[in-house]
Chain A
Amino acid sequence: MNLDLFFQYIVAGITYGTIYAIVAIGFNIIYNATGIINFAQGEFVMLGGMIAVTLQHLMPLPAAILSAVLITMTIGAFIEMVFIRWLRGPSVLRLIIITIGISILIREGALHIWGTSVRALPYFTGTSVTSINMGGVYVSPQVLWVVGISAIIVAFLTVFFNYTLPGRQMRACSANRDAARLCGINARNMVTLSFMLSAAIGALGGCVVSPITYVQYDSGTPLAIKGFTVAILGGLGNSTAAVAAGMILGILESFSIWVLPAAYKDVISISILLVILFVKPSGIFGSAETAGLKEF
């Protein structure tokens, strides 16, 4: 394998990895605020892409994306309010099963609304063949968009959680719910806000990624699984670690093709998940203490 090939694989890995990282960040936000693993996170990504494609026929691209994000945010809030808000002291098992059920309903709903057809947004810049030659390695401009937008999301979230009032209120709730309520923070609204934020991030990710990967009614579930793997790999609740973990998983998957038939690519990521769960469930970057802190 020569150097060019090596870097080409790395670029491919970064492409996958960023996609997974976006989903993982969505998981982490809700987990931090509520302790719930939202299995429907992948569906937010799918919804963002599908809605944007439908709207794109009616309005210019940026407006379509913005609307899709807003609509998905509303759906996220709706889900929280209808299914989760009024549960009293639910067990972990119950919540897991509820979110799995929600993800199934969203997926089947998408099936009956949009059918089985496959959709994609047009490339933001250029077309499907333009590629930028960066020293022997070919990169599609859309990949740069994906990476760029992910970086913006991470930056935004860092600012949000550290410097804005709602963000700090959310962190307070994660740290100690009762103390936060004593300070007058409405914990229930924080939960809804976390769902809305996760949905928005997922939807934006879905939009920016759809030219490369296409969206279909069932593209949410595999993404959720990979995203979850990445979230656990980085340590549940730690989003900056999730980005790094995403890169690692993406690159590992990419290089696995060199040694294993491509058909076994998914086995790699699941095996990594199992190994981490057995050996160090708090993730490669995490420790039991930081996992308990539930910080961004």
Chain B
Amino acid sequence: MSRGRRSILWVVLVLISFVFLSGNSYAAETIKVGAILAVTGPASFLGAPEEKTLVMMVADINKNGGIKGHKVELIVKDSGASPEKALSFAKQLIEENKVLAIIGPSTSGETMKIKNVAEEGKTILLSCAAAETIVNPVAKYVFKTPQKDSYAVIRIFEQMKKMKLSKAAVLSSNTGFGKAGKEQIEKLAPEHGIQIVANEVYDKAATDLTAEVTKVKASGAQAIINWSIEPAQSIVIKNARQIGFNGQIFQSHGFGNIKYVEAALPAAEGVIFPAGRLLIVESLPKDHKQKAVLMKYKKEYEAKTRGEESSTFGGHAYDAMLILTKAIEKANSTDKEAVRSAIEGLKGVVGTAGIFNFSPQDHNGLDMSSFEMLTVKNGKFVPLKK
């Protein structure tokens, strides 16, 4: 057989087998939920805990009989933070698996690419990414669970004003997370009376930032605001203290992982950052509305992962699943349109990031109180004393 013809035979055989073998098992009673997460790759800080959280939650739900008697089938796709993969998986989940809702993606870049796909496919999208443009302009089927970056930035600015600091240096990483924070800082600084005297973007894989912090120190900044989720967070603090910068260091909510503190001790002492209350759940008063939910999530997550610290990012996936569950229960149906409207009508849902109050105009549901200002004392996260 000639070369070309043999090749064609291979193709035919392979493709035919795939077209037929990829049929799905149609268990009519299950609720299908898709998840597109960046489990590996450059955004794995976000996607890995999100994936573990979702798997854990769905197992729990099914153990307790499912939602309204229907078992949940979770289909997780690892996009590796690639928008083209996210797109391909989104179409696959919507058209082939016919899921009720998609949780994720983990990054804003991916979410923006599939926003239209979700709208066109009339499938609910509960994004775990934080960009403002995900819910503004509001799209009928697209929601997001993380708090607004602008709230975090405003809390930092208010703290700066309290400490009578007005000159800030901004350092951010070249990821979507860093970029979003940087944009909010630049946008909101003037109206809060903060002057940005230095503004540097570094590579997320940067291993030494001495040159950057040297430039910052030379600019006369009174405070550093660092916005990233990588180990660079710890590196910035270390390098800054090593070259003798003594001003206040602020971090983003990406700092909420005790490993970064451990890696940077003792330079991390005194760092201030906004975060979800998951990190200081033990010090919440007993009657705090979020305490029960947070304790439960933290205990379960750490038990399931054998000691890995729970993170606020995994919490975004938790909130997404929680909201979906509550909406299905409220709508008492698994029809996409009914569940979607139900989400818009949800009020007072206690999640890990805060208390959600949705409306047709607000597809995020959180406000400024969802952030708590934390600091590091004796190597532990504690709430910042007002």
Interface residues of A (CB under 8 A from B): 1, 5, 8-9, 11-13, 15-16, 19, 111, 115-118, 120, 127-129, 131, 133, 138-140, 209, 212-214, 216, 218-219, 222, 253-255, 257-258, 261-263, 265-266
Please list 15 pairs of residues, one from A and one from B, whose beta carbons are closer than 8 Å in the complex, sorted by A's number.
A8-B243, A12-B208, A117-B259, A118-B263, A120-B263, A128-B263, A129-B267, A138-B244, A139-B242, A209-B207, A213-B207, A213-B235, A214-B263, A257-B200, A262-B203
Question: Which residues of chain A have C-beta atoms less than 8 A from B259's C-beta?
Answer: 117-118
Question: Which residues of chain B have C-beta atoms less than 8 A from A15's C-beta?
Answer: 208, 210
Compute how far the CA of A138 lies from the CA of B207 in the bound complex, rounded to whole angstroms.
18
Compute how far the CA of A209 lies from the CA of B207 in the bound complex, rounded to whole angstroms.
10
CB within 8 Å for A12 and B203 given contacts A129-B242, A129-B266, A140-B242: no
In the assembled complex, B303 has its CB within 8 A of some CB on chain A: no
Per-position 1/0 for B197-220, Cβ under 8 A of A: 000111101111011101100100
Q: How many residues of B contact A (CB 8 A)?
A: 35
CB within 8 Å for A116 and B40 given contacts A127-B266, A213-B235, A257-B212: yes
CB within 8 Å for A9 and B214 given contacts A16-B208, A111-B40, A131-B244: yes
Which 10 A-B pairs have CB atoms at the shortest separation, nearest pair first?
A213-B207, A12-B210, A116-B44, A263-B201, A131-B242, A128-B238, A214-B231, A118-B231, A138-B243, A129-B241
Chain B residue with the shortest CB-CB distance to A133? B244
| B144 vs chain A, min Cβ distance (A) | 23
Compute how far the CA of A219 lies from the CA of B153 in the bound complex, rounded to whole angstroms.
30
Contact of B48 among A116, A213, A222 (CB under 8 A): A116
Besides A16-B208, A262-B200, A265-B203, 12 more A-B contacts (Cβ < 8 Å) are A8-B243, A15-B210, A16-B207, A115-B48, A128-B238, A128-B242, A212-B207, A219-B207, A261-B200, A262-B203, A263-B202, A266-B203
Contact of B210 among A8, A127, A219 (CB under 8 A): A8
Docked-complex contact B215 and A257, CB < 8 angstroms: yes
| B256 vs chain A, min Cβ distance (A) | 15
Residues of B255-279 contacting chain A, CB below 8 A? 259, 263-267
Compute how far the CA of A116 lies from the CA of B205 in the bound complex, rounded to whole angstroms.
13
Question: Which residues of chain B have C-beta atoms less than 8 A from A219's C-beta?
Answer: 205, 207
| A29 vs chain B, min Cβ distance (A) | 23
Question: Which residues of chain B have C-beta atoms less than 8 A from A12's C-beta?
Answer: 208, 210-211, 214
Contact of B201 among A5, A13, A129, A262 (CB under 8 A): A262
Interface residues of B (CB under 8 A from A): 40, 44-45, 48, 174, 200-203, 205-208, 210-212, 214-215, 218, 230-231, 234-235, 237-238, 241-244, 259, 263-267
| A8 vs chain B, min Cβ distance (A) | 5
Chain A residue with the shortest CB-CB distance to B218? A5
Compute how far the CA of A30 lies from the CA of B48 in the bound complex, rounded to whole angstroms.
37
Compute how far the CA of A296 lies from the CA of B234 in the bound complex, rounded to whole angstroms.
38
Q: Which of B211, B230, B235 has the largest number of chain A CB atoms within 10 A?
A: B211
Q: Which of A8, A15, A266 has the largest number of chain B CB atoms within 10 A?
A: A8
Compute how far the CA of A16 lies from the CA of B242 in the bound complex, rounded to whole angstroms.
16
Compute how far the CA of A159 lies from the CA of B88 in the bound complex, rounded to whole angstroms.
57
Chain A residue with the shortest CB-CB distance to B238? A128
Docked-complex contact B211 and A257, CB < 8 angstroms: yes
Compute how far the CA of A138 lies from the CA of B237 in the bound complex, rounded to whole angstroms.
14
Question: Which residues of chain B have C-beta atoms less than 8 A from A222's C-beta?
Answer: 205
| B121 vs chain A, min Cβ distance (A) | 31
Compute how far the CA of A1 lies from the CA of B241 in the bound complex, rounded to whole angstroms.
20
Compute how far the CA of A115 lies from the CA of B45 in the bound complex, rounded to whole angstroms.
10
CB within 8 Å for A128 and B214 given contacts A8-B243, A212-B208, A262-B201: no
Docked-complex contact B208 and A8, CB < 8 angstroms: no
Q: Which of A115, A209, A262, A266 has the largest number of chain B CB atoms within 10 A?
A: A262
Docked-complex contact B202 and A216, CB < 8 angstroms: no
| A280 vs chain B, min Cβ distance (A) | 27
Chain B residue with the shortest CB-CB distance to A13? B211
Compute how far the CA of A140 lies from the CA of B210 in the bound complex, rounded to whole angstroms.
11
| B290 vs chain A, min Cβ distance (A) | 27
Chain B residue with the shortest CB-CB distance to A1? B218
Question: Which residues of chain B have C-beta atoms less than 8 A from A258's C-beta?
Answer: 215
Question: Which residues of chain A have C-beta atoms less than 8 A from B242's C-beta?
Answer: 128-129, 131, 138-140
| A48 vs chain B, min Cβ distance (A) | 15
Chain B residue with the shortest CB-CB distance to A15? B208
Q: Which of B201, B218, B231 has the largest number of chain A CB atoms within 10 A?
A: B231
| B80 vs chain A, min Cβ distance (A) | 11
Question: Which residues of chain B have C-beta atoms less than 8 A from A16's C-beta?
Answer: 207-208
Docked-complex contact B264 and A128, CB < 8 angstroms: yes
Contact of A128 among B40, B212, B243, B267 (CB under 8 A): B267
